[in-house]
Amino acid sequence: MYAFNYHKPATVAEAATLAGKHADGKLLAGGMTLLPTMKQRLASPSDIIDLSKLGDLRGIEVKDGVVTIKALTRHVTVANSAEVKKAIPALAELAGMIGDPAVRNRGTIGGSVANNDPAADYPAACLALGATIHTNKRSIPADDFFVGLFETALGEGEIITSISFPVPDKANYQKFRNPASRYAIVGVFVAKKGADVSVAVTGAGDSGVFRQKDFEAALKSNFSAAALDGKSQSAAGLNSDIHADAEYRAHLIGVMAKRAVAAAK
């Protein structure tokens, strides 16, 4: 790891000032992605702005049909939250499938969403549920937030403060995980709200998480696994790597989508 200056601000405003002042600095949340990256010298921030003291960025609120999760809320808290389990069980299940218990004890929703790893789980939930990402500056709809591989709409030093998820009628997340890294080889999140159906796919796209609009159209007229019979995902634009080639991922997307529809509740 390269040397850096360490800061531990006490307020979001102070964190934002520090982030503004140190253009080559990085915010540190759970550190479950940033620290391994720094250890491999793939990142060399001049300054680390540790958010761990910002208690007002932790917590979950369910109000008026919206689940709002503050940015520093850890995966373990979301997975075990009685409120989340009741309002959006698929979201709690997703949080419980991230990494391993020690990763879930540190990793945060804000860090996961800001990082936008193409194999991360939360981005799929954000897209399928039509979440809004709130920052210290503005609110960004999920459809505009995830821009590309590890790329988001966040500006320099912009801090995610919370993420709000409208409660769907039904939803489910199915993940085919890489047994070694525990990340998704393919993950499909399906959500139904009124006449609207969203299908978001992670782990597969060569520019990160995406919505499968063909599947959405088929499910809008008939929300059942059978509605996806004969529908297929093209392998164009999907990743091929040592874990799975694009054709295999394309096939998995269909299988996981059907399972998610069948299990949605």
Residue 196 C-beta: closest distance to another protein, Å: 34
Residue 156, binding choice from another protein, ligand FAD, none, Cβ under 5 to 8 Å by partner class: none
Judged by beta carbon distances under 5 to 8 A according to partner kind, the member of another protein, ligand FAD, none in contact with residue 209 is: none
Q: Give the alpha-carbon dihedral of 42, 108, 265, 221, to 10 degrees.
A: -50
Q: Count CA within 13 A, CB hemisphere, residue 230.
A: 4
Binding site partner of 160, from another protein, ligand FAD, none, Cβ cut-off 5-8 A by kind: ligand FAD
- DSSP letters spanning 12-50: HHHHHHHHHH-TT-EEESS-TTHHHHHHTTS---SEEEE
Residue that has been written with the tokens 């939803």 in this structure: 171
Contact present, 189 and 260 (Cβ < 8 Å): yes
Quick one: which of 183, 191, 147, 175 has its CA closest to 253? 175
Q: Where are the alpha helices (DSSP H) in the chain?
A: 12-21, 34-39, 75-80, 82-87, 89-96, 101-106, 109-115, 122-129, 142-145, 213-221, 246-263
Cβ contacts of residue 125 below 8 Å, gap of 6+? 90, 91, 94, 131, 165, 173, 189, 200
The nearest distance, CB 42 to another protein, in angstroms, is 12
CA separation for the pair 188, 26 (Å, rounded):
30
Binding partner of residue 39 among ligand FAD, another protein, none, CB under 5 to 8 Å per kind? another protein
Question: Quick one: 5 or 234, whose CB is closer to another protein?
Answer: 5
Binding site for another protein (CB under 8 A): 1-6, 8, 28, 31-32, 35-36, 39-40, 48, 50, 52, 76, 99-103, 105-106, 180-182
User: Closest CB to another protein among 180 and 195?
Assistant: 180
Shortest separation between residue 26's beta carbon and another protein, angstroms: 12
Q: Are 104 and 79 in contact (CB under 8 A)?
A: yes
Looking at the Cβ atoms of 33 and 164, the one nearer to ligand FAD is 33
**To the nearest whole angstrom, how small is the minimum distance from the Cβ of residue 214 to another protein?**
34
Catalog residues that contact ligand FAD under the rule CB under 6 A.
26-34, 36, 71, 98-99, 103, 106-108, 110-112, 114-115, 117, 120-122, 154, 159-160, 182-183
Q: How far is the CB of 131 from ligand FAD (least distance, A)?
A: 15
Q: Which of ligand FAD, another protein, none interacts with 59 (beta carbon under 5 to 8 A by kind)?
A: none
Contact of residue 262 among another protein, ligand FAD, none (CB under 5-8 Å per partner type):
none
> Which CB, 4 or 210, lies closer to another protein?
4
Report in angstroms how near the CB of residue 100 gets to another protein at its nearest: 3
Closest of 170, 59, 191 to residue 124, by C-alpha: 191
